[in-house]
Every structure is written in C-alpha cells, then in structure tokens.
Amino acid sequence: MPELPDVEVYLEKLRPRVVGAVIEKVDVRSPFVVRSFEPPLKTIVGRRVTGLRRVGKRIVFELHEQEPLFLVVHLMISGRLRWRDPGVTRPAIAPKLELARWSFARGTLVLTEASTKKRASIHLVRGAEALAALDPGGLEPMGATLADFQAALTRENHTIKRAMTDPHLLSGIGNAYSDEILHRARMSPVKLTRRMAEADFARLLAATNAVLAEWTARLSAEVGAGFPEKVTAFRDEMAVHGRFGKPCPDCAAPVQRIVHASNESNYCARCQTGGRLLADRALSRLLRDDWPRTLEELEEGKLARRGLKDGEPDA
C-alpha cells in the first residue's frame, strides 16, 4: 500500500500537472471504484483543480471555484496513479488494470489496480464536513510534538507495530515504513505502548521523522521531473522490510519476521530485541519447546538439521 512518502511524492509530481488545470473528461472503467453517489462524479467535468492535499493515505483534489468539492482517491493496497502526456501511449497500461481516467489539456491521469480484489476507491464529496468524515483521524507524525505523539500511541494499549499502523492513531504509516522506523529506533515491534518510557517515545518520534523525510526525498529524487511509475513497498535499500533472511545493514544478522493473520513484521533480533527471537503465533504453538529463543539457538537448530556438529564447517 502506498504510504506517506509515496503519497507525498504523488502530490509533488501532480501539482505542476493538474493544479490550475480543468478536468475535461472523466472515464470510469470499473463501476465499483466510485463509492459516492451525491454529487455525481460527472459534476467535476469542467471544474478546475484548485489544490491538492493528503488526508492519511488518501489523495484529495480540491475543486473550489464554485463550491467546495473534494475528489478523494484512496489507492488501498494495489491502486496506483499513472500520468500520460498528450500523444504518449508508452508504457502501455493493460485495459483490465484501469479503473478510471481524468483528462486534462496537459495530459491524462489514470487510476489502476493490479489485483482481482478491487479495493481502491473514489469519493466525490461536498464541503469540509463531508471530507472530514473520510479522515480516520490519526495524528500527522511529521512535525508532531512529543506530547501529542505519545498521547496518540498510548490511547490504546497495543503493540507499537500495531499502534503505528492504526490510521486512527497515526496518519499515513503502514507495514513497510513502520518496520523501517522501528529498526531505526532500535525497538521491538511487540513492545506495548503503555509500557514505553518518555525516552522511548522521543527516540521513536525522531526515527519516524527521519525515516519518512529520508524516504520522501529519496523517492522524489528517483522520479526527478517524471512521474512515479514503480511505487512499491519492497525496496532493496530498505533495512528490514521485505528482507527476511537477508543481512541487517547495521549488524549483518539475518532479518527475522513474525506473521499474525495477514500482517507481517520484519525486524533485526540483534538490533531490536537484544538477540531474542519473537514468537510467531502459529509456528511457536506448533513447535512449542522446539521454538528457538535466540539467534544462537536458531543457528544451532540449522546446524542440527543439516547433521553438523557445532564447530564443523558448513559446506
């Protein structure tokens, strides 16, 4: 799912293309993508885009010339935006991936979704109150005060991983960047928020601001004057997210993971949990006493499964 850095780069690259431009045509390819009915989507044809903003992970097009209208696009997991300059058809977009198109004199904005589960959505709402109803209400982490940050994360007693990815508590952070932030903060993903000291929150807030700012700048620089075409949650430059089994860039220990339901946390045991392996709920129940507790036990188990004695070379 595109998270705060991805959405910020979308906004940065969209502004010179669509702000001030008139929407000349709207073409909806999927009847399920439009989730609002009043006002009808055709209302935006002939309207000028007067501004862009982010609400959580949503992209909001402001259409304020005659009345305060907001076009709200939520990309969810697999939704992406593509921009095509006039007369440019490459790289081609598979028709089955297209959900909607907005045509401007400067080019065409295309909403796609590479998933059979169509979760991306478009809402057209009238007025600030209707827009606020689409906002989960999480605190914007960038520039937040330590007091507000701590208050948001301790509103409920969750693991820090769950709290950071709850859009009602923090805005714009998902699975990928929460992994990176927790690694930067040297913090276990299963630490409970109400057991954290103020110094923990200060370290976490600093890591949050640093990671989000660094990745926003990195992604923007990669795109340059172009438009983001390869938005993904898995990047080789990341420290732990999506890097299970690969070496931690800071200590070279293998990155670990735990899976609960459909959510996965990637972490470095040496950097974040003092070498202790976190229990994967399903596997630890299955293995019980055989579940390794530390990196050393994990490595010993690997050696035993290979029929090697401690100290023998691993061929």
Convert the pLDDT of each residue in 5-28 to its tens digit: 999 999 999 999 999 999 999 999
End-to-end Cα spacing for the chain: 40
Convert the pLDDT of each residue in 139-161 to its tens digit: 999 999 999 999 999 999 999 99
List the one residue out of 10, 2, 4 whose CA is nearest residue 181: 4
CATH code of the region 146-223: 1.10.8.50
Where in the chain do CATH 1.10.8.50 domains reside?
146-223
Domain 4-132 class, CATH top level:
alpha beta
- Say if residues 54 and 60 touch (Cβ distance below 8 Å): yes
Q: What is the pLDDT of residue 287?
A: 41
Structure tokens at 314: 């691993």
For the beta carbon of residue 220, count every other beta carbon within 10 angstroms: 15
Where in the chain do CATH 3.20.190.10 domains reside?
4-132
- Give the pTM: 0.88
Q: What is the pLDDT of residue 67?
A: 85
For residues 131 and 120, what is the distance between their CA atoms, to the nearest angstrom? Answer: 17
For the chain (315 residues), the mean pLDDT of every run of 10, in chain order, is 96 98 95 92 96 97 90 96 84 86 96 90 96 96 96 95 96 97 97 96 98 98 94 94 96 93 87 91 48 59 50 44
